[in-house]
């Protein structure tokens, strides 16, 4: 049991006696107990961050020195990659193949930020557009201040580092609020950040509930909120931030479409959607869960997806044969099964799966991978984010119809296009109103910006665009 909280770079005694049991999604055994942060702990963390920003060395440290510290963080994480993968799998129910596969991705994410920081225009002198002007302008990119980073449970290290690395590279101080479900792995992250040599007060890592999270968002000592989570929670945070004119960036939900063009090689499509649609047990904001198939090949697509989904091994996430593990908690299991019932009530055709718990897995938070056909865009299962291993197949008439259906969503986070003609696929991708589009199953990169259109968010993460979310622009005019 860890009965301490990581506040301002040190493990300290919490203000209260609240403790969190970290429960296995697989069999409901208790994996560990940790301290839970309360508003008084938030006050201490924000005060430490405020002091470190206002009077400490970190914001005034040269960018290359901050880069060196964050490079150490990445190296320390790489050295414990297998431990991290196993811990997240145990906490979240994420299959071990997924948490292991994510470790090189974390390295690429960090390297992209470090590369961006090295080339970032921290201070630039602008040449006057009119040569007769007797002054020059210096543009500086300076840290915003105290950043409250609030992350979800589904991919904790990726979400945490997508905020912590650029915020720290820019010279900010950070209070990282993590989900209770991830307290064990995020306490490990706290150890890594401490070992890397960050100055006192610069970073805190606090597991807390929603009420305490809202207290952090409203805290007068916080200058910026960086949030990943549901669109509903994002709207609430945006309203609270707007009332206080806090800077805010939001990476929110999705209901992404995979557009299968008539010339696509279906064997490649099914192999790719196994990962692109069902990664992390379907508990992924970027999952392509709306499958758009041409009417002329609709039955082929449905049959192929059925075969693929029925081949997936569902079970213990620690078993290397498992592809789909349990949902993170009983409430999420109920939510997904309820949506399956809604799909049946809406008249969608159940192709495989259903609301029944997989045989022999009744102790865990398991959901049977489920495929619906004969779905249209008016159905809730085609419009709302389920966050589980449930796919829906929608038919389209022609390319214009496919684009219309893909864009007929309040969300716009991710999406995909499948075609034997790459240029044709690119032409369709350009018409999709979404922040990221992958062609033929290509992975999402970390050098380009990541984020959403419409209700999928505000701002961008990754690379130079992600780093830019954590700076203020200052112009200094100097006479000649």
Q: How confident is the model at residue 2 (pLDDT cuts 50, 70, 90)?
A: confident
Instruction: Select which of 251, 283, 385, 461 is catalytic.
Output: 251
Nearest-CA neighbor of 461 among 168, 162, 115? Answer: 162
CATH classification of 257-445, choosing from 3.40.309.10, 3.90.1650.10, 3.40.50.10490, 3.40.109.10? 3.40.309.10
What span, in angstroms and rounded, lies between the C-alpha atoms of 200 and 273? 45
Is the pLDDT reported for residue 479 higher than 90? no
Residue 285 annotated as catalytic: yes
What pTM did the predictor assign? 0.96
Report yes or no: 325 and 368 within 8 Å, Cβ to Cβ: no
325: its two tokens: 């593990």
Q: Can you tell me which residue has the tokens 């790489």? A: 78
Is the pLDDT reported for residue 87 higher than 80? yes
What span, in angstroms and rounded, lies between the C-alpha atoms of 99 and 84? 8
Nearest-CA neighbor of 91 among 20, 35, 160, 149? Answer: 20
DSSP 60-107: GS-HHHHHHHHHHHHHHHHHTHHHHHHHHHHHH---HHHHHHHHHHHH
* Backbone angle region of 382, left / alpha / beta, with phi > 0 → left and psi within -120 to 50 → alpha: alpha
Per CATH, the number for 5-252+456-479 is 3.40.605.10
Residue 461 annotated as catalytic: no
Please give the share of the chain, as a percent, with pLDDT higher than 90: 97
Q: Counting every residue, how long is the chain?
A: 480
The residue among 11 and 1 whose pLDDT is bigger is 11
Instruction: Select which of 91, 181, 283, 285 is catalytic.
Output: 285
Q: Coil, helix or strand for 254?
A: coil
| pLDDT value of residue 126 | 92
- DSSP state, residue 128: P
What span, in angstroms and rounded, lies between the C-alpha atoms of 135 and 361? 72
| pLDDT value of residue 347 | 97
| pLDDT value of residue 132 | 86
Q: Coil, helix or strand for 151?
A: coil
User: Which residue ranges make up each domain of the chain?
Assistant: 5-252+456-479, 257-445
């Amino acid at each position: 049991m860890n009965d301490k909280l990581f506040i301002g770079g040190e493990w300290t005694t919490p203000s209260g006696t609240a403790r969190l049991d970290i429960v296995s999604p697989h069999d409901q055994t208790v994996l560990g107990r940790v301290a839970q942060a309360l508003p008084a702990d938030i006050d201490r963390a924000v005060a430490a961050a405020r002091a470190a920003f206002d009077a400490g060395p970190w914001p005034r440290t040269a960018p290359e020195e901050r880069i060196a510290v964050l490079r150490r963080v990445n190296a320390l994480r790489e050295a414990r990659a297998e431990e991290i993968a196993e811990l997240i799998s145990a906490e979240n129910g994420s299959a071990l193949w997924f948490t292991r596969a994510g470790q090189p991705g974390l390295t690429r994410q960090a390297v992209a930020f470090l590369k961006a920081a090295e080339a970032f225009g921290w201070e630039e002198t602008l040449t006057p557009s009119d040569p007769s002007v007797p002054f020059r302008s210096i543009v500086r990119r300076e840290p915003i201040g105290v950043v409250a980073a609030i992350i979800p449970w589904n991919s904790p290290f990726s979400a945490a580092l997508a905020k912590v690395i650029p915020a720290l590279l820019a010279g900010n101080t950070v209070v990282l609020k993590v989900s209770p479900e991830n307290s064990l792995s995020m306490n490990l992250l706290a150890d890594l950040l401490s070992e890397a040599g960050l100055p006192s007060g610069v970073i805190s890592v606090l597991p807390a509930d929603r009420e305490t999270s809202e207290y952090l968002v409203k805290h007068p000592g916080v200058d910026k909120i960086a949030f990943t989570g549901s669109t509903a929670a994002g709207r609430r945070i945006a309203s609270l931030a707007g009332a206080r004119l806090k800077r805010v960036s939001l990476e929110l939900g999705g209901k992404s479409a995979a557009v299968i063009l008539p010339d696509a090689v279906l064997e490649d499509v099914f192999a790719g959607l196994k990962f692109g649609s069902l990664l992390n047990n379907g508990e992924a904001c970027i999952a392509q869960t709306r499958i758009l198939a041409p009417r002329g090949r609709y039955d082929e697509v449905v049959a192929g997806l059925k075969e693929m989904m029925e081949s997936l091994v569902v079970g213990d996430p620690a078993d290397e044969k498992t592809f789909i593990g349990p949902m993170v908690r009983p409430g999420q299991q109920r939510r997904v099964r309820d949506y399956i019932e809604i799909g049946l009530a809406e008249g969608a055709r159940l192709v495989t799966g259903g609301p029944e718990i997989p045989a022999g897995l009744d102790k865990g938070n398991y959901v049977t991978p489920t495929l619906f056909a004969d779905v249209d865009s008016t159905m809730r299962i085609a419009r709302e984010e389920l966050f589980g291993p449930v796919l829906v197949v929608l038919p389209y008439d022609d390319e214009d119809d496919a684009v219309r259906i893909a864009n007929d969503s309040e969300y716009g986070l991710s999406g995909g296009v499948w075609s034997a003609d790459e240029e044709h696929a690119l032409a369709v991708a350009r018409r999709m109103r979404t922040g990221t589009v992958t062609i033929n199953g290509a992975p999402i990169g970390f050098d380009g910006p990541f984020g959403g259109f419409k209700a999928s968010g505000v701002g961008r993460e990754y690379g130079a665009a992600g780093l830019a979310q954590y700076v203020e622009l200052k112009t200094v005019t100097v006479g000649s």
